[in-house]
Amino acid sequence: MGGRISATAKPDKAKGWLPWLTDAFDNRLGVDLREIEDAQGFTFRRFGEDPPQGEPGAVTAAEPAVTPDWALRKAPGEAAELEYASPSTYADARRGPTPSPLAAAGGVGRFRRGDLIHKLFQILPDLPAAHRSDAADRLMAKERDLTPEQRREMALAALNVLNDPRFAEVFGEGSRAEAAVAGTAPELPRGLAISGRVDRMIVRPDRVLVIDFKTNRPAPDRIDNADPAYITQMSLYAAVLRAIFPGRRVEAALVWTDGPKLMPVPENLITQTLAALRRAS
């Protein structure tokens, strides 16, 4: 039930709780309830004494506002907008992708194989070592279009890395999978910022280790023979991580599942790669 009534409605025609309350207050307050008309002609009811009224305040002219100096200066120009790029595709975007003769090795596209092995690297490290093999088989069994030999080859490629003591730190306590890295750094080309994810990152009080897994077959025997796009990718990550973690040594490495082998990217190679990128920008 509502309390609104039309301005033209008669009190005895009003519906709802308002007439009931009006009658109750009128009867309760009696002679102390007075009808007042203000200077604007509005009529209202007042209970009790009139409130005290003060003297009208004096009106004084306001002081003129002083325009601040910054409002009279021309706004400085903004810096050019940053160009965000993915480290994994930055080199290919500049030079164009290079077709690989290994694009469909063994009947499985190398990108499909790489995606599946990376998936195993994301899931298996969080499991007890004794359960990883069975879990890998169950995960690969969902890829029904692959042969049993193809599934087992990919599972073994991941397990061989996980079970190798040389890579214990990569998957150890404090390591992060699919760690996001974004930002810019003085070592990058002017106006460039990166945004991407590294396969594995370890942050220690004195150093930062960033790892990327590569599933190419055969794996190169030396870092000098690795695809330059991979070196560019790791150099970009290293530059931004140096800016994020000042004072800590930043190390970058590639882990090849073919082998498997851990291949550090030398600091002097990172420095040379970044310098070349700045010259070319």
Domain 173-281, CATH:
3.90.320.10
12-23 average pLDDT score: 66
Q: What would the pLDDT profile of 245-270 be if each residue is shown by its tens digit? A: 999 999 999 988 887 888 999 999 99
Lowest-pLDDT range, 67-71, 93-97, 228-232? Answer: 93-97
Q: What is the pLDDT of residue 226?
A: 92
Local confidence band at 1 (pLDDT 50, 70, 90 cut-offs): very low
> Is pTM, for the whole model, over 0.85?
no
Q: What would the pLDDT profile of 215-251 be if each residue is shown by its tens digit? A: 888 889 899 999 999 999 999 999 999 999 999 999 9
What is the β-pairing status of strands 192-203 and 175-183? antiparallel
| Secondary structure (3-state) at 190 | coil
The pair of structure tokens assigned to 129 is 């070592």
Q: What is the pLDDT of residue 170?
A: 83
Q: What is the pLDDT of residue 103?
A: 43
Local confidence band at 101 (pLDDT 50, 70, 90 cut-offs): very low
Length of the chain in residues, anyone? 281
The pair of structure tokens assigned to 199 is 């396969």
The pair of structure tokens assigned to 114 is 């790489």
Torsion of CA 217, 219, 224, 225, to 10 degrees: -30
Name the strand (E) or helix (H) holding 193.
strand 192-203
The pair of structure tokens assigned to 197 is 């994810």
Could you tell me the CA-to-CA distances from 253 to 59, 159, 176, 199, 235 in Å, in that order? 77, 19, 15, 11, 10
16 pLDDT above the threshold of 70: no
- Name the nearest CA neighbour of 189 among 80, 96, 269: 80
Euclidean distance between CA atoms 213 and 188, whole angstroms? 23
Say if CB 230 and CB 222 are below 8 A apart: no
Q: Which one has a higher pLDDT value, 200 or 10?
A: 200
Each domain of the chain, given as residue ranges in start order, spans 103-163, 173-281
Name the strand (E) or helix (H) holding 192.
strand 192-203
Local confidence band at 64 (pLDDT 50, 70, 90 cut-offs): confident
State which of 18-22, 99-103, 171-175, 204-208 shows the largest mean pLDDT: 204-208
> 197: exposed, middle or buried (C-beta count within 10 Å: 0-12, 13-18, 19+)?
middle
Q: Which one has a higher pLDDT value, 56 or 163?
A: 163
Euclidean distance between CA atoms 240 and 232, whole angstroms? 13
Q: What would the pLDDT profile of 47-57 be if each residue is shown by its tens digit? A: 777 777 777 77
